[in-house]
Amino acid sequence: MTKLRKIKDVFFKWLFFAATAFGMLSLVVLVVDILYQGLPRLSWEFITNFPSFNPDKAGIKAAILGSVWVIGLTAPMALFLGVATALYLEEYAKKNWFTRLIQTNISNLAGVPSIIYGILGLALFVRAMKLGPSILAGAFTMALLVLPIVVVAAQEAIRAVPQTLRHGAYALGASKWQTIRGIVLPSAAPGILTGMILSLSRAIGETAPLVVVGAFVFVRFAPTDPLDKFTVLPIQIYSWVSQPKAAFHELAASGIIVLLIVLLLMNATAVLLRNKYQKRF
């Protein structure tokens, strides 16, 4: 009896280990597969060429510029709205039903499928505000999409600033806003920035909402205006994946390598920031 229990114990230990290994292994296989398919076509020309029907001349210049435009416009909007919302909830809001409503609503928004944001963007920004399938419409959509993540990260960072610091500022005669601007925000800045980078790395990888907004287009020019049509890197990859020819699948893999490198750099920056500025009060 005891022996059987021991055997069971060892068996399940290895079973649980195998399950854990499955996840790790999936990531390894995925990365190796993509490097194997994508490295041969990765070159400087690939980065600097516009898309083409000829796989040997096709590149991701327009997609990269589109992604930079969208993220460049999304970031300030999401940062301002996210930090303002977090400051309101943490520093000003009274504990009443409306504050609870805002808070519950934010956690529910984080669970809404991203394609629904695309539908909202299509109806509101593309059609009702008549922005068309433009960079600006895409950036508005993305800002709303990442807002819940930014708010939650900023709230955590603000909450981590100890009350004693605030009391110290008040004792010196600072007003509430002076305390927030001079003490709370600087102390919370690394945390806010980390959350911001992570939410933007989510936005860079998003495909579906921007397809719905109308960014699935063949762009052979560098966008110069927020109202220009655009495409982004994940959508360029998608359009290559959906081609039947193998050469385009290899291009898709090369595009994925570029996308993953960008994400890796962003995440590494976030981790470094967190480790460097993590204050222990």
Partner 1 sequence: MVPGVLFSSSLITVLTTVGIVLVLLTETVAFFGEVSIIEFITSDRWTPQFADKHFGILPLLVGTMMITVIASLVALPIGLATAIYLSEYAPERVRKVVKPILEVLAGVPTIVYGYFALTFVTPLIRSLIPETSIYNALSASIVVGIMILPMVASLSEDAMLAVPRKLRDGAFALGATRFEVALKVVVPAALSGIIASFVLALSRAIGETMIVTIAAGALAQVTFNPLESVQTMTAFIVNISLGDVEPGSIESKSIFAVGMTLFVLTLTLNLIAQFISRRYKEEY
| CA–CA gap between residue 250 and residue 36 (Å, rounded) | 9
Within residues 43-72, the interface with partner 1 by CB under 8 A covers: none
**Candidates 45-53, 108-116, 218-226, 273-281; binding stretch for partner 1 (CB under 8 A):** 108-116
Contact criterion met (CB below 8 Å) for 37 and 106: no
Site string for partner 1, 207-236 (x = CB under 8 A): xx--xx-x-x-----------------x--
Closest CA relative to residue 75, chosen from 125, 132, 146, 131: 146
Q: What are residue 51's phi and psi, to 5 degrees?
A: -65, 155
Dihedral of the alpha carbons of 268, 273, 276, 279, in degrees to the nearest 10: -140
| 130/281 with CB nearer partner 1 | 130
| CA–CA gap between residue 224 and residue 56 (Å, rounded) | 27
Under the binding rule (CB under 8 A), the answer on residue 24 touching partner 1 is yes
Under the binding rule (CB under 8 A), the answer on residue 272 touching partner 1 is no
Under the binding rule (CB under 8 A), the answer on residue 17 touching partner 1 is yes
**Candidates 21-29, 49-57, 156-164, 220-228; binding stretch for partner 1 (CB under 8 A):** 21-29
DSSP 8-state code for residue 41: G
List the beta bridge partners of residue 229: 134
Answer for which of 170, 249, 269, 274 binds partner 1 (CB under 8 A) is 249
CB of 94 to partner 1, least distance (A): 11
CB of 68 to partner 1, least distance (A): 16
Under the binding rule (CB under 8 A), the answer on residue 97 touching partner 1 is no
| CA–CA gap between residue 229 and residue 139 (Å, rounded) | 12
| 65/143 with CB nearer partner 1 | 143
Those residues whose C-beta lies under 8 Å from the C-beta of residue 142, and which sit 6 or more positions away, are: 70, 71, 74, 78, 203, 206, 209, 210
CB of 261 to partner 1, least distance (A): 12
Answer for which of 35, 49, 68, 81 binds partner 1 (CB under 8 A) is 81
**Candidates 48-56, 123-131, 159-167, 185-193; binding stretch for partner 1 (CB under 8 A):** 123-131
Contact criterion met (CB below 8 Å) for 197 and 273: yes
**Candidates 16-24, 182-190, 219-227, 272-280; binding stretch for partner 1 (CB under 8 A):** 16-24
Read off the amino acid at residue 216: F
| 13/281 with CB nearer partner 1 | 13
Burial (CB < 10 A; 0-12, 13-18, 19+), residue 135, is: buried
**Candidates 59-67, 117-125, 166-174, 186-194; binding stretch for partner 1 (CB under 8 A):** 117-125
